[in-house]
Amino acid sequence: MSTECWSEDFIQLNGKHITLTTDIDDLANNADLIAAFDAAVGQWESFWQLPSGSLQDFKVDACVMADKQRFQLDGRIPLSVPDFPFGFALQDRVWVVAQKSQYYTRHLLLHEGVHSLAYHQFGGTGPSWFMEGTAEMLAVHRHFGSDTKINQLPKDRASVPYWGRFKVMDQSRDANTIPSLGSVLGYPRDLQSDVESYGWSWAATMLLYQYPDTRDAFFASAKTPAPNDAVFNNDLKRRLQNTWPVVTARWRLMCHDIDYGFDWSREQVSLSMNDQVWDGKPLKLDIKANQGWQSIGVRLSPGMKLSVTPAGNCTLADQPKPWLSYPSGITLRYHRGRPLGQLLACLLPDTPDQDQATKTNLRPLQVAAITRPSQIPIKENCWLLFRINDVTGELSDNQGGYQLTIDSASK
Ligand SMILES: [Zn+2]
């Protein structure tokens, strides 16, 4: 970082990839922003799989503003820039309104920087869901200054003060207004800084990035300029071809569970359109307590009726002593209204009917407790999945699981 200087009442600081102009006289926080931005650029380069050195000349002119009006009066925000409550990016210029937490100010600076990078490297950002989703994904971070690590799903609320995405996503889940993937892809150009739309856009880009079988399509879409949003979305679906029904099914599951601590390494679901339709022969399965939703591996058709018999036990924590649970769960503690350790079943449609429309909410996931031998009638083409109920982000200390025997009840 170069030496600090005052310019017409503003402080200016230089990093490798950023010139920071600010009215905030806080040496430590300003140094943090510069170091965090410079640290992020190298990580963005490798995230986007760019040849080393591609971002050598990438540098943004950033204003971080406690008093936005001062910057306007000083002519530092062009009149062509629309009014914005949080931040804005225009080619290599970005503006960020200082927030109540240093985390959130840093986050917004990185977020706008990702937009700048998209203009710089790819010649465009894609539709609003992709533009805001990737910017959120590559802005959400842990640590600060030169230790900043991007693309980190927050472990808890305290680590990302005022960011607030999960709070509104949770409210939407409670109100059964989670958007279908189709409606996220159809978001208007101007999201009007709506925090919830940013949250679901982030979730959609994470979903495509996190699964190996959709990641190439995600990168190809980012790097291929499209003349308009419809072409971008159609190209993405074409790249994913037969996987699209699986993507929408994964979307339903992810939206049901995503929250602080959501662990992608445990929450990836094994679903394929190549899964055979069940032949009615008995199945024996282990449902692991340290994993998210687990498919029985076959698809089911209307008219089938399954008998499911659970057995076994698992432990859900080991402090202060192991919490032993059976399929009915432990009523000492609840998650989403159900006892921890309870065996849950979910029927997941394998046809993305609702997602064809662009303005619909997701049908709530059908989840039922299986605490004793039970029968499950099948009314539509679907997968059947199980998981052991636990708080999101607390799967890693679980051990063991339940054994399931599945047989046809219509014999
Ligand atoms: Zn943005």
Q: State the Cα torsion 286-287-289-293 to the nearest 10°.
A: 150
Q: What is the pLDDT of residues 270-315, one digit of tens each?
A: 999 999 999 999 999 999 999 999 999 999 999 999 999 999 999 9
Q: What is the pLDDT of residues 352-363, one digit of tens each?
A: 655 455 458 888
Measure 260 CA to ligand 1 centroid, in angstroms.
22
pLDDT at 351: 78
Measure 254 CA to ligand 1 centroid, in angstroms.
23
| Residue 301 and residue 247 share a domain | no
Question: Is the pLDDT assigned to residue 25 strictly greater than 60?
Answer: yes
| Residue 161 and residue 114 share a domain | yes
**Confidence band of 331 (pLDDT split at 50, 70, 90):** confident
| Residue 246 and residue 298 share a domain | no
Measure 115 CA to ligand 1 centroid, in angstroms.
7
Question: Is the pLDDT assigned to residue 322 strictly greater than 90?
Answer: no
Our CA angle for 134, 46, 190, nearest 5°, is: 15
Query: 16: buried, middle or exposed (CB in 10 Å: 19+, 13-18, 0-12)?
Result: middle
| Residue 298 and residue 246 share a domain | no
Classify residue 265: in a domain, yes or no: no
Nearest of 265, 270, 304, 273 to residue 287 by alpha carbon? 270
Average pLDDT over residues 323-341: 92
- Beta pairing, strands 60-65 & 18-22: parallel
Measure 114 CA to ligand 1 centroid, in angstroms.
8
Measure 111 CA to ligand 1 centroid, in angstroms.
6
Measure 315 CA to ligand 1 centroid, in angstroms.
43
Q: What is the pLDDT of residues 218-275, one digit of tens each?
A: 999 999 888 899 999 999 999 998 899 999 999 999 999 999 999 999 999 999 999 9
Identity of residue 279: D
Classify residue 263: in a domain, yes or no: no
pLDDT at 192: 86
- Beta pairing, strands 141-142 & 149-150: antiparallel
pLDDT at 7: 56
End-to-end C-alpha distance for the chain, whole angstroms? 75
Measure 108 CA to ligand 1 centroid, in angstroms.
8
Average pLDDT over residues 143-157: 96
Measure 262 CA to ligand 1 centroid, in angstroms.
23
Query: 335: buried, middle or exposed (CB in 10 Å: 19+, 13-18, 0-12)?
Result: middle
CA dist 217 and 234 (Å) reads 12
Classify residue 361: in a domain, yes or no: yes
Measure 322 CA to ligand 1 centroid, in angstroms.
45
pLDDT at 3: 46
Measure 53 CA to ligand 1 centroid, in angstroms.
25
Question: Is the pLDDT assigned to residue 364 strictly greater than 90?
Answer: no
Percent of the chain with pLDDT over 90: 87
Measure 131 CA to ligand 1 centroid, in angstroms.
7
| Residue 284 and residue 246 share a domain | no
CA dist 46 and 216 (Å) reads 15
Question: Is the pLDDT assigned to residue 173 strictly greater than 80?
Answer: yes
Domain holding 46, by residue range, is: 5-257
CATH code of 293's domain: 2.60.120.430
pLDDT at 411: 62
Measure 138 CA to ligand 1 centroid, in angstroms.
11
Average pLDDT over residues 369-377: 97
Place of tokens 């429309």: 357
Classify residue 148: in a domain, yes or no: yes
Count: domains in the chain = 2
**Confidence band of 197 (pLDDT split at 50, 70, 90):** very high
Q: What is the pLDDT of residues 35-86, one digit of tens each?
A: 999 999 999 999 999 999 999 999 999 999 999 999 999 999 999 999 999 9
| Residue 186 and residue 39 share a domain | yes
Average pLDDT over residues 156-181: 93
Q: What is the pLDDT of residues 115-140, one digit of tens each?
A: 999 999 999 899 999 999 999 999 99
Measure 9 CA to ligand 1 centroid, in angstroms.
28
Measure 141 CA to ligand 1 centroid, in angstroms.
16
SS3 call for 22: strand
Measure 145 CA to ligand 1 centroid, in angstroms.
21
Measure 60 CA to ligand 1 centroid, in angstroms.
15
CATH code of 34's domain: 1.10.390
